[in-house]
């Protein structure tokens, strides 16, 4: 069965430091991959997506993610974190069955000054 | 409106009561999705509509859950005889077409608490 794993439940970084959030998926073929961000009490906002082609994708708010087939990973990165980046981040995969998305359990990001 | 609108934002009900949650998608969006997000978890797929047709309801946890989108626009998720385990945030999302490469736009959700 398809699944998404986000190994880090919670991450704390200092403002200005770099960030990497991990995501691993299980699927036999190349899935459609997404990263979403959710602020408290809000819905999910799409940061970026990968379908095919260049394995390094750029998203909004200075985020990027790299698809690594050999590691079944799609890690999210940002070179310099801002205090406003504090939120919950979800990795999702889709395209297996119809239009279903499967979300990971999320990584909560805290940014300290 | 510009985004997906859900109402009410908060709903408190007693166990055994029926509840109805509303989703108003972005105008012109063909696809509509419902998700359930338990505390500390990621959203879990419930059901999917393309226009008025419910194409996938495999994620609905029991026959107490029912969703409809009769005119292909506004959708309602109904939960009958609510149980405490139904307490969660219910998210609605819409997308322009039924293609997976179209991003899903999420509403702010309805937080349901069953007492």
> Are the CB atoms for A81 and A62 separated by under 8 Å?
no
What is the pLDDT at residue A66? 96
What is the pLDDT at residue B40? 86
Which of B42, B48, B109 has the CB atom closest to A103's CB atom? B42
CA distance A50 to A22: 15
Q: Which residue of B has its CA nearest to A35?
A: B103
User: Which chain B residues touch A95 with a CB distance below 8 Å?
Assistant: 100
What is the pLDDT at residue A101? 81
CA distance A66 to A55: 6
Q: For chain A, which residues score pLDDT lower than 50?
A: none
User: Which chain A residues touch B104 with a CB distance below 8 Å?
Assistant: 44, 46, 101
**Do B45 and A49 lie within an 8 Å CB cutoff?**
no
**Do A106 and B91 lie within an 8 Å CB cutoff?**
no
> Are the CB atoms for A79 and A98 separated by under 8 Å?
no
Q: For chain B, which residues score pLDDT lower than 50?
A: none
**Do A49 and B103 lie within an 8 Å CB cutoff?**
yes
User: Which chain B residues touch A103 with a CB distance below 8 Å?
Assistant: 35, 42-44
What is the pLDDT at residue B2? 80
Q: Per-residue DSSP letters for A94-107?
A: E-SSTT-EEE---E
| Alpha-helix runs per DSSP H in chain B | none
How far is the first Cα of chain B from the last one, in angstroms, to the nearest whole number? 33
- The phi and psi torsions of B69 (rounded to 5 degrees) equal -150, 70
Sign of CA dihedral A93, A25, B43, B35: positive
The CA-based angle B110-B100-B29, given to 5 degrees, is 55
| Beta-bridge mates of residue B76 | B22, B68
Q: How many residues does chain A have?
A: 113
Mutation site for B-interface testing, chosen from A1, A4, A43, A91 by largest number of B Cβ within 10 Å: A43
Q: Per-residue DSSP letters for A12-24?
A: EEETTS-EEE--E
What is the pLDDT at residue A95? 67
CA distance B94 to B49: 9
Interface membership of B38 toward A (CB under 8 Å): no
Query: How close A103 gets to chain B, by Cα (Å)?
Result: 6
Q: Which residue of B has its CA nearest to A99?
A: B100
Closest CA to A99 of A26, A39, A32: A32
User: Which chain A residues touch B40 with a CB distance below 8 Å?
Assistant: 105-106
**Do A103 and B101 lie within an 8 Å CB cutoff?**
no
What is the pLDDT at residue B110? 97
Interface membership of B97 toward A (CB under 8 Å): no
């Amino acid at each position: 069965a398809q699944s998404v794993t986000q190994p880090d439940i919670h991450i704390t970084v200092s403002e200005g430091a770099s960030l990497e959030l991990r995501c691993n998926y299980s699927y036999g073929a190349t899935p459609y991959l997404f990263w979403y961000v959710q602020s408290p009490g809000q819905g999910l906002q799409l940061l970026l997506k990968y379908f095919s082609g260049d394995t390094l994708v750029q998203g909004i708010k200075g985020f990027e993610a790299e698809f690594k087939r050999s590691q079944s990973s799609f890690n999210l990165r940002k070179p310099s974190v801002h205090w406003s980046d504090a939120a919950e981040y979800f990795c999702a995969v889709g395209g297996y069955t119809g239009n279903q998305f499967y979300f990971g359990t999320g990584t909560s990001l805290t940014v300290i000054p | 409106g510009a985004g997906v609108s859900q109402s009410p934002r908060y709903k408190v009900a007693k166990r055994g009561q029926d509840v109805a949650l509303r989703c108003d998608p972005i105008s012109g969006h063909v696809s509509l999705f419902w998700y359930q997000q338990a505390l500390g978890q990621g959203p879990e797929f419930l059901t999917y509509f393309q226009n008025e047709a419910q194409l996938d309801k495999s994620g609905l946890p029991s026959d107490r859950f029912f969703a409809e989108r009769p005119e292909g626009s506004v959708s309602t998720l109904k939960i009958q005889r609510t149980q405490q385990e139904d307490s969660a945030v219910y998210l609605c999302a819409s997308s322009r077409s039924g293609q997976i490469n179209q991003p899903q736009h999420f509403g702010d959700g309805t937080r349901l608490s069953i007492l």
